[in-house]
A and B are shown apart, each in its own frame.
Chain A
């Protein structure tokens, strides 16, 4: 009788632990959905010379990220493509501005030369151009400055120099007073924040 009581108690405790662990995993999933803006995602269409702007707020980062890497921001454009209206291009990406920081580009596309910022393969209209921009500033700048940095990410045709598109990026810290960062988030109609793809 006593043994039975103990085993019922044991089973109940295990069931409770099982449920708690399941809820914990769902909670972790939910937490992830609360911080999609810590890595911005662009859904950008490269059309002749189109300009747009994009504001990133380091306060949108989750606490663990803000503690460990507040000044490192990833902006991913996993599904960027050339406008159907234009022609085919060999795309080159460059950054200018970002005075107190640095930018580097990477891509899952094997034809991308990250040192030159050039895709060696030619893209046709509608074809996906996967690109991630990594912005890097000092921790101190990211923690203390209301306006951390500004710059432009420009896309050109590597052969002709024709401008395909430009994204003005403004990195702010809305936690600092007078940041003028109330308008943090997406500003351009062709840009939106989405899920974090930086794991890949």
Chain B
């Protein structure tokens, strides 16, 4: 197995773990919280859904911390602040599924969407709309939800029946798996533009990265040989090689999947705590000045 295949396999095992932890039929987290702590709820993805928690917070309903959804929400969002959006990068199978699907489609049929349309204003506009919608009497929380669709697709493997879809289900599958999945380079178009949970986690990571005690991706320009391998394989195109050969990084689009760190042949990318600014050399706490070859992106 070559290095890339090995990294993809290890990542796949993480998403498989996420599937077993949160999705039916296993739903290990829900079952544990129900059986050990006697918390009320069902053993399905809806019981831990952070979309519901975000909607309840935005609409003033609030969430109980002593509930299945409250505990999972707190863990996901606290870890995003301190460690980056690890749920997205390491565990979420609904985000990973179209990424792996996109690897089956030849690149010539794919669009580099995130290069053409900056994800940040779109995803935060979408997040704002998502949070305002209930106030205006619209319910989008379960509509257009890729968690639901992933759950239904996986359960349908057992029953060979996807069940009865709604129009919003059909629209979700079309965009999540096809337009923004298989035919988008990296397959993470839904994550980059639509998912409210990912957007909220990335925002927390972006803010958290300002503090020295939080963990984040750091870059050592002295080691980098500008091979572009990291950027080529970044599923969200958060890393990109500019026309002038310089490497740019958009922290707000990064999933903390760690693929770039594993792939870099020169170990120029590291995950560590310390001052913000991803241009820190490994083991060096001071920010380095931009080098002639590489320039820091304005958005990092």
The residues of A with any CB-CB pair to B shorter than 8 Å are 14-15, 17-26, 28-33, 35, 38-39, 61-65, 67-69, 72-74, 108, 134, 195-196, 198-200
Contact of A32 among B140, B165, B174 (CB under 8 A): B140
Judged by a CB distance under 8 angstroms, whether B129 is at the interface is yes
B129:A25 contact, CB within 8 angstroms: yes
B164–A69 touching, CB < 8 Å = yes
Establish whether residues B125 and A21, one from each chain, have CB atoms under 8 Å apart when the complex forms: yes
A14 surroundings in chain B (CB, below 8 A): 118, 120-121
Residue in chain B with minimal CB distance to A20: B125
Scan residues 155-179 of chain B and give those whose CB is less than 8 A from a CB of chain A. Answer: 163-171, 174
Q: Is the interface of B mostly helix, strand, loop or mixed?
A: helix
Nearest residue, chain B, Cβ from A108: B42
B194, closest chain A residue (CB)? A25
Contact A39 B164 (CB under 8 A): yes
Tell me the bound Cα distance from A175 to B139 in angstroms.
28
Complex Cα distance, B167 from A73, in Å, reads 12
CB distance from A103 to the nearest CB of B (A): 12
Q: With contacts defined as CB atoms under 8 Å apart, how many contacts are there between chain A and chain B in the complex?
A: 123
Q: Are B170 and A68 in contact (CB under 8 A)?
A: yes
Query: What residue in chain B is nearest A104 (Cβ atoms)?
Result: B161
Q: Which of A21, A23, A68 has the most CB of B within 10 A?
A: A21
Residues A64 and B170 in contact, CB atoms below 8 Å apart: yes
Contact A63 B164 (CB under 8 A): no
B145 touches A199 (CB 8 A): yes
Rounded to whole angstroms, the CA-CA distance of A14 and B121 in the bound complex is 6
Give chain B residues whose Cβ lies under 8 Å from the Cβ of A195: 139
CB <8 Å contact, B171 and A64: yes
Q: How far is the CB of A18 from chain B (nearest CB, A)?
A: 4
A residues within 8 A CB of B124?
A: 18, 21
Q: Which residues of B contact A198 (CB under 8 A)?
A: 163-166, 169
Binding-face segment, B11-19, B130-138, B264-272, B275-283: B130-138
